Each structure stands twice: as C-alpha cells, then as structure tokens.
A and B are shown apart, each in its own frame.
Chain A
Amino acid sequence: MVLETGRVVQASDIGELGTLLAIRAPDIASRARPGQFAHVRPGTGWDPLLRRPYSFCRIDRDGGEIELIVKALGSGGEWIATRRPGDALDLLGPLGTSFVVQRDTRNLLLVAGGTGIAPMRVLAEQEGDRRSVTLLMGGRTIRHLWPSDRLPAAVEYVTTTEDGSFGTRGRVTDVLAELMPWADQIIACGPWPMLAALSRLREDLRRGPATRVGRNALLDAQIAVEQHMGCAMGVCRACVIVTERGNERVCREGPVFGLGDVRFERGEPATVGLDR
C-alpha cells in the first residue's frame, strides 16, 4: 500500500453509473489486485474531509494505469467526479483483500449490481481469455448498465433491468438459477440488498438436496461489500460488519468475504452488537 499522486488521463461519462476516471498511478497499478480499492482524497484541504473508497475497475499493470467509477455523491464524490485529464489525485492504496479465482474454475460467473461492476470488470478482463466467463449485471434501467463495448469480447454479457429497457426484466437473482448449473465459481459485488438476496438463495440451497448442480459455486461464492469508511487503514473501526468470526473491518479483513460468512438482517448488513 502506498500514497501516490495519480494523474487523470481520461474522464468518461458512463451514464447513471457515474464518471469513469482513468488515472496514471504506476505504483498502485503494479500492486493492485481485483477486489481491492483506492482511498481517494477529495481535494487538498479539510472540507470535505474524508477520503472516498473506490474499487478498482481496471488494473493496467503494464500501462501503469487504473480506472475508478466515481459517482458524484456528496461534495467529496462530486469533487472527485469532476476531475479532468491532467488533474492530480491523491490516492492511498491498494487496500483490502482481493478475490481468489480457483485454478480449476472453468466457468466463472460474475454477478454485478450498480457500481459493483467495478471489480467484476477487472476480473472479466483478467480471466476472460483464461476460462469461460459470464458477467451477469443488473440495473434499474439501461442507463444503469455497464457499456458492453468496455468488456473483453470473450466475456458473455447477460443483463437484467428493472424496467425491462434492456435484457431480462427483473433482477440478477431472477436469472441466476438459469446460470448456476453452468458455473464452477461465483463472484459478486453490488448493493447490500442484492448481496442479501444472494445470501437467501444460498441459504435455500444449503438446506436443499446436496445434488443440485451448481450448488457448490453459490455455497463458496465470494462477494465484495461496501461500508462507510474513515481511515481505511484499519485503525478507526468505522467500517465493521458482522461475519461468522465476529466484527470484521471491511477495509482490512474485507472488502472481499465469503458470501456464507457475512451476516445479513432484512436485506442489510447485520447490526453490530449494541453498546454495552
């Protein structure tokens, strides 16, 4: 992990997902792995104060570049999203844990919701010509989907939209059953309700017959989660979630967790033990 002043090389509008920033940051690019994130300072002053965590959306080791999807949320997000080519960005990273693609995985299913596409796209680029990869992405409308021309040709792209403006009408979980028998391994990233739905599917499957095809892929699925962060260095404990092992920090023990390890409650991360 390093502190690096990156240089924006390109800023592209990618619809409702936000702005895609391509940043020259060789030190971080050479260390980053899919699932990890950069903690980006919104400006050089103290208002807004907190850095924003963004999962890598592209890691170009050789070119020394990374890409981040930035939503103009809050004044900090807005500042970062309005950076233009040539602008400097104060980056801390790479931080957190990364996905592990198993060696014997032949069919890799990636599931993305919203800006959760970021690390899925890294995996798609990295794994697309090593094994058979399908990316399943859901969004509210077509404007919430990742543009298909920014995916490697070898990757099969399956989409759902809530308004039916593109692909299947519905959510990723509506299509998942169809793809699961095919998948040797599942990796997912998206908003908490999507992850909670995956967790429910997993629970049903776990209780069901052990012979279901594709069962293991969901039982062993890896997910990356989001949480409000302070330091992202592991010191403040602002970012904890509840897992099978107790409280764990999303910035250190995460953001990648086993789907079966994370505790959910009503579509949200389970509440950390109340004070005293």
Chain B
Amino acid sequence: MPWRRPRKRVERGGLVRSSPEERIEEAAEDDEASDAVELAALEGASLDEVALGEPTGTAESSLALPLAQALKGVDLPSETTATPKARRARAPRPEIAARPTSRYPIGSLAIDDVDLRVRIGSLELRNPVMPASGCFGWGLDYAELFDPALLGAIVTKGTTPKKRPGNPQYRIAETPSGILNSIGLENPGAEGVARSYAKQWRDIGAPVIVNVAGYSIEDYVFVVRTLADVPGVAAFELNISCPNVDGGMLFGTDPLLAAQVTEAVKAETDLPVIVKLTPNAPDVVAVAMAIESAGADALTCINTMLGMRIDVRRRRPILGTRSGGLSGPAVRPIAVHLTYQVAQRVSIPIIGAGGVTSTEDALEFLMAGASAVQIGTATFADPLAPVRCLEGLAAHVRDARLASIREVIGVALPPKPSSEPDTEYRAE
C-alpha cells in the first residue's frame, strides 16, 4: 500500500468555501474548459486549436496581425493598446483578457527625428536593423512584444520548395557566448509559406526578405518564382550554406556554384537578390566577388560556422546531426573581419550578421563596411535586442551630430582613393 496522507473530507465535486458569485464564475470557466475538451475530441483538433478557434498552423497570424495593424504608425502608449480578438479567445479567463498586453512602448521610441535610411540594392530601408533568418520565424511571433514594422526589414526562416520536417533532436546546444543549432530547415515549403503568410505580410509594415534554401539551382528558382508576386515580399536572401545534391559541395563554398545560383535567380526576378555568405568557404572573398559579378544586389555576411559539442556523460555529440552551426557573440569578431575583407573587394551593399547584441556591435559592422545588420541569436536572450539596437543607433547619430547613419558605413576601412565609401543617400 502506498504511503498516504489522510484525506480531509471534501464534498465530491462541490465547490467548497466559495461565494455564489465565485461559484458562477468558476462554473463559467469550467464550462469553457470542458467545452474546449469536448470540441477537441469531436473535431480531432488540439486543445489549443479549439481555444484559438482555428488550426494552430495559422494561429500566429490571427494573433499577431491585429496588433501590427492596430499599432502601425500610431504613437499610443502601450497601455491603450487594443486587446486583439484572438488573444481574448485564447485566454479562458475574461479578467486576464481584459488586461492590455505590455508591448514595447513604441510611442517612446525616439528614432524618427534622425535619418537612419539605408539602401540595399533598389530596396530602401527605413533603418538598418533586421532580424537574422531562422530567428524571427515568418515575422509575426514577436508582435506581442514589439511591432515588427519598427524594423528596417523582416527576414524569414529558410524556405525550400517542399515542406521539410527538419533534423532529429537535439537541435540546439549552448556554447561559450553562443549556440550551436541544427534545425534542418524545417519549413512548410514555398507554397505553404505563401498560403500561410501572404495576407499578413501585405500589412506587416516592413519589407519582407524571404530567405531561400535549396539543394539544386532549380530549388532556388522554384522558391523565388513561387513567392516573388506575394504582396509584401521585397527581396530574396539566398542561403547558399546548403549542400548541392549533384556533388554534395556547399553552394557557398565554391565561387562557380555560388555564381551559378545567383545568376539563375537574378534571371527569375526583378526583386533585389541578396546572397548570404558562409564562413565555411575556404576563400570567402573569392566567393563574394563571384557573386557580385553574377549580378547579386547585396551580400549578407555571415551565416553560421560549423561546430560541435560532445556530451561527455553520454560520450556522444549533443546535436542530433552531430555538428551544427555556431552563432552568437562568439562568432562576432570573425563576422566583422570577413565583412571588412569583403567590403574592400566588392561595391554592392553588405548586411552584417554574426553575434550582434547591441548598438555598439551594430556600429562595428557598419564601420567595417556593412550597410545594415541582422540580429539573430541575441534575440533568444533579449527579445528586444533589435529594438534597443535601433534606438541606440538613433542616439548615436544624434550624439555624434551625423547627418545620417550612412556616415558611419565603412569609416574603419583602410583609405582607398579610388573607391571612397559611399555615404551619399540617393532616393532614386
């Protein structure tokens, strides 16, 4: 017989010690709860789906969109933010739903008095701060904390032609000042993405850069063709850190392969094509130059670096795929170095990425020749890192009495008489 503490007599099913009002309230709550369970059983839906009133696949959209819309361009303090309908449906207790969400008080975000605009090919960005691919989903998940329209652009998770289930667990491991990840490009496929996000992207308030991944040139072209006409999509970023099925070499490690993908995608779309460099290439600068010659509009520098951690207790690698991609502050000096090297050899804009956590880090990349920065891993620790970085850049422009943020781009590069860093802002 298991050990038992003597039970205090409780009226079966009765609501002990509660006033009539409480009883009614509790009954109402329980009603909702049991209704949800019954509905879930009937419909074969998850509880969450029932709570949200729709399949969870599209749940984020309904959750985030009214927020983005409600707040776009409105300088309201967060306390007056309207509670979105979907949230109300999700929270079974009315007293919770009645509370406004505590979003970042965008009314207090002082960035509009300074010129933070930058140009990425034909794309004019309101400011140079954007999320890094894979760290912002499809743009809507952080809307409860801040309006994605604040960002210079939104960068999506890698999108492939077909749906992909991704890699086995574990998919993430912590490292000194960084993380290793091996997600395996889990995504709903280009058509799935178009179906799920087209409506929200139209109204999201920031240009959407779709990160494209594939295992053949046709894969990249297919994704670009499928998404080029989706409203809100403003550019493509090619993730070329993927193995090419013919030969197995990473597209991004070979200048010729990288140029071929770039050329094929350029022929498919008039939207700007950004190509994302992998630091795992033996000669990153050579790859960058080949991509520029192939017609790319910009470069992102850099994707993750290969790394591994071993679980010494189990005597095997932690990640399901053994090795994974290293990101976070640990890679920042490498990313700044590569940005600095590439910036001296190409004239197309560079988007710096790798370990940006703060304004200071962003300035390092800008001064090394980047025109914009992406923030990925830092968001996992501080979801507001992109917004803080943005505010800090505005403060820097103000305090240093710059005409615009563009004045800092490339200032740390060695003097090169023939090609002075271009700090002019052209609105064409």
A interface vs B, CB < 8 Å? 1-4, 27, 30-31, 33, 41, 46-51, 74, 76, 92, 97, 100-104, 106-107, 129-132, 136, 148, 153-154, 156-160, 166-168, 175, 178, 220, 227-231, 233-241, 245-248, 252-253, 256-258, 261, 269, 271-276
CA distance A30 to B94 in the complex (A): 12
Are B165's CB and A256's CB within 8 A?
no
In the complex, chain A residues whose CB is within 8 Å of the CB of B172: 50, 228-230, 236, 238
How many whole Å from B155's CB to the nearest CB in chain A? 11
How many whole Å from A247's CB to the nearest CB in chain B? 6
Are B380's CB and A231's CB within 8 A?
yes
Interface size on B, residues (CB 8 A): 77
B352-392 to A contact mask, C-beta < 8 Å, 1/0: 00000100000000000000000001111111100000000
**Most chain-B Cβ atoms within 10 A of its Cβ — which of A27, A166, A238, A239?**
A238
Are B10's CB and A132's CB within 8 A?
yes
Say which residue of A30, A97, A175 sits within 8 Å of B99 (CB atoms).
A30
Are A235's CB and B135's CB within 8 A?
yes
Are B33's CB and A237's CB within 8 A?
no
CA distance A245 to B16 in the complex (A): 39
B263-277 to A contact mask, C-beta < 8 Å, 1/0: 000000000000000
Are A100's CB and B5's CB within 8 A?
no
Residue B407 interfacial (CB < 8 Å): no
Known: A27-B102, A167-B3, A230-B181. A131 touches B33 (CB 8 A): no
Are A236's CB and B329's CB within 8 A?
no
Known: A2-B102, A237-B166, A276-B215. A46 touches B179 (CB 8 A): no
Additional A-B contact list (19), CB under 8 Å, known A1-B144, A3-B102, A107-B12: A33-B92, A49-B177, A97-B47, A100-B37, A101-B30, A103-B34, A130-B16, A159-B2, A175-B2, A220-B41, A233-B142, A237-B186, A240-B171, A245-B46, A253-B46, A253-B56, A272-B167, A275-B167, A275-B321
Residues of B69-111 contacting chain A, CB below 8 A = 91-93, 96, 99, 101-102
Are A130's CB and B15's CB within 8 A?
yes
Are B17's CB and A230's CB within 8 A?
no
Residue B27 interfacial (CB < 8 Å): yes
Are B181's CB and A240's CB within 8 A?
no
B325-341 to A contact mask, C-beta < 8 Å, 1/0: 00011000000000000
Are A235's CB and B166's CB within 8 A?
no
The 8 A-B residue pairs with the shortest CB-CB distance, nearest first, are A273-B165, A103-B30, A235-B137, A167-B3, A238-B172, A103-B34, A168-B2, A106-B13
Please list 13 pairs of residues, one from A and one from B, whose beta carbons are closer than 8 Å in the complex, sorted by A's number.
A48-B174, A50-B381, A107-B12, A130-B16, A148-B5, A157-B5, A160-B2, A178-B2, A231-B380, A234-B60, A236-B135, A240-B166, A275-B166
CA distance A41 to B379 in the complex (A): 12
In the complex, chain B residues whose CB is within 8 Å of the CB of A101: 30, 33
CA distance A74 to B179 in the complex (A): 14
Say which residue of B2, B47, B93 sits within 8 Å of A158 (CB atoms).
B2
CA distance A237 to B166 in the complex (A): 9
> Closest chain A residue to B171 by CB distance?
A238
Are B177's CB and A46's CB within 8 A?
yes
> Closest chain A residue to B15 by CB distance?
A130
> Closest chain B residue to A148 by CB distance?
B5
How many whole Å from B106's CB to the nearest CB in chain A? 14
How many whole Å from A196's CB to the nearest CB in chain B? 15
Are B141's CB and A233's CB within 8 A?
yes
Residue B170 interfacial (CB < 8 Å): yes
Residue B169 interfacial (CB < 8 Å): yes
Are A158's CB and B101's CB within 8 A?
no
Are A238's CB and B168's CB within 8 A?
no
How many whole Å from B235's CB to the nearest CB in chain A? 20
CA distance A108 to B60 in the complex (A): 32
Residue B220 interfacial (CB < 8 Å): no
> Closest chain B residue to A156 by CB distance?
B7
Are B171's CB and A274's CB within 8 A?
no
In the complex, chain B residues whose CB is within 8 Å of the CB of A50: 172, 174, 179, 380-381
In the complex, chain A residues whose CB is within 8 Å of the CB of B382: 41
Chain B's interface: helix, strand, loop or mixed, by majority?
A: loop
How many whole Å from A245's CB to the nearest CB in chain B? 7
How many whole Å from A138's CB to the nearest CB in chain B? 10
Residue B312 interfacial (CB < 8 Å): no
CA distance A239 to B16 in the complex (A): 40
In the complex, chain B residues whose CB is within 8 Å of the CB of A48: 174
Are A154's CB and B8's CB within 8 A?
yes
In the complex, chain B residues whose CB is within 8 Å of the CB of A274: 167-168
Residue B416 interfacial (CB < 8 Å): no
Say which residue of A2, A41, A168, A248 sits within 8 Å of B101 (CB atoms).
A2
Are A158's CB and B4's CB within 8 A?
yes
B46-73 to A contact mask, C-beta < 8 Å, 1/0: 1110010000100010000000000000
CA distance A227 to B320 in the complex (A): 13
CA distance A157 to B3 in the complex (A): 8
B17-52 to A contact mask, C-beta < 8 Å, 1/0: 100000000110011011011000100001110010
**Most chain-A Cβ atoms within 10 A of its Cβ — which of B36, B37, B91?**
B37
B210-232 to A contact mask, C-beta < 8 Å, 1/0: 00000100000000000000000
How many whole Å from B107's CB to the nearest CB in chain A? 17
CA distance A7 to B397 in the complex (A): 35
CA distance A252 to B142 in the complex (A): 13
CA distance A167 to B102 in the complex (A): 46
Known: A237-B166, A274-B168. A102 touches B34 (CB 8 A): yes
How many whole Å from A99's CB to the nearest CB in chain B? 9
In the complex, chain A residues whose CB is within 8 Å of the CB of B166: 237, 240, 247, 272-273, 275
CA distance A263 to B331 in the complex (A): 37
Residue B134 interfacial (CB < 8 Å): yes
CA distance A240 to B56 in the complex (A): 14
CA distance A276 to B102 in the complex (A): 41
Known: A41-B381, A49-B377, A97-B47. A131 touches B10 (CB 8 A): yes
In the complex, chain B residues whose CB is within 8 Å of the CB of A31: 91, 96, 99
How many whole Å from A46's CB to the nearest CB in chain B? 5
In the complex, chain B residues whose CB is within 8 Å of the CB of A229: 172
How many whole Å from A197's CB to the nearest CB in chain B? 17
How many whole Å from A224's CB to the nearest CB in chain B? 12
Are A168's CB and B37's CB within 8 A?
no
Are A236's CB and B10's CB within 8 A?
no
Residues of B173-215 contacting chain A, CB below 8 A = 173-174, 176-179, 181, 183-184, 186, 215
